[in-house]
Structure 1
């Protein structure tokens, strides 16, 4: 994310709004990723999973849990992007250094990611459950009407603490995702501009840097993402603690389960990253909401 020479204070919510726009584009891929990660038997591909959802549940089902996904971006991404930009701009103002080094940006992104993971955890729990609900036996389905209904019912039927299931791997994922995605994007963009001589203002440069950032972020975050998904999808304490769930998964499926759904994760995260940054730049260009 390049810094601007103009000292413009952009709204805190720009990152979240851009991520919500990207969510509308990539939600079907995110749904397929969750289904692959929670499957107890490996082997299905991204295409076969999407085809299965459409053929067995209907075309509209590829947007199952959309309200929860949007709520997740509104909480998680707004927090992580907002805090990151605040910390970065504060550093630039204090040091008068328009281009902070990677060593400076990395801890900023890690703090931002952890805070985003904490704030977004409740909506993430609902998101995972809504996307995976159709795969459960009828008697075990939760049938949340929307994200808000899901949060209310979890508090009523389980406990408020259930909204923070999988918090530890979610915090880890938030740190890894924000650090790898944002910092890698900056590094990749600088390399493309300085070494490959690409135009820093062209969308092709942003596209290439975003894809590289998505590749790194997907690989780094995959283990934490899969473990988080398994824990959040578990039904109460009956299925054991996080350690038990992880131990059983490794024992029954092998260590490779931690990279289950890597391809759909990458296919989703690449476009998601691209659309997020493009939307973010448009929000900044037209100064939406700044009148």
Structure 2
């Protein structure tokens, strides 16, 4: 990763450029999604058992009181890895597809950018989906002694993920 320590500028559309975009995506997505994990934990548990908590704050307080402070970060590993991979794909592939589509069409405009973002998110979600599935299972159904069930149906939520994330990413 010579581009991280070099004094010379990164050449646009070079391998170092795409690596920098991918690393930027990891840094933009993994820590931010991990930071709000306590809210996600409460949301996921409420989806499985409505009425479990009266509010987000009450849910977090209940988890801390009954399970311990660190339990509000249940699913942290899967979240950090999954959203890191998604960010890597979203940022890196977007720049790649933007260049590739522009070159193939001979022009660059908003439609090219929309296509590039949709293509990037399509691939990024393939990387995210199994980790998101594991995170939800860890947060809602999997007791610690049943980890073998963690890897079942890891892509069952991929199509709904695409329907949510692809339009969102295109708008962004």
Could you say which TM-score interval applies, normalised by the shorter chain?
0.7 to 0.9
Q: 1:107 aligned to 2:115? A: yes
What does residue 171 of structure 1 align with? Answer: 162
With normalisation by structure 2, the TM-score equals: 0.73
Residues 93, 175 of structure 1: alpha-carbon distance in 2 compared, 3 angstrom cutoff = same
Cα distance in 2, alignment partners of residues 10 and 108 from structure 1: 14
Q: 1:7 aligned to 2:12? A: yes
When the two chains are superposed, the root-mean-square deviation of aligned CA atoms in Å is: 2.9
What does residue 6 of structure 2 align with? Answer: none
Secondary structure of the structure 2 residue equivalent to 1:164 = coil
Find 1:58's aligned residue among 68, 72, 75: 68
Find 1:48's aligned residue among 58, 69, 74: 58
Instruction: Give the deviation of 1:83 after TM superposition.
Output: 1.0
Q: 1:73 aligned to 2:83? A: yes
CA deviations on 1:18-62 (whole Å, 9 max, x unpaired) are 311223422222222322333334873221221221122111111
| Structure 1 segments unaligned to the other structure (5+ residues) | 1-5, 134-140, 183-291
**Larger RCO (alpha carbons 8 Å, 6+ apart):** 1
Find 1:19's aligned residue among 29, 32, 48: 29
Q: 1:32 aligned to 2:42? A: yes
What does residue 212 of structure 1 align with? Answer: none
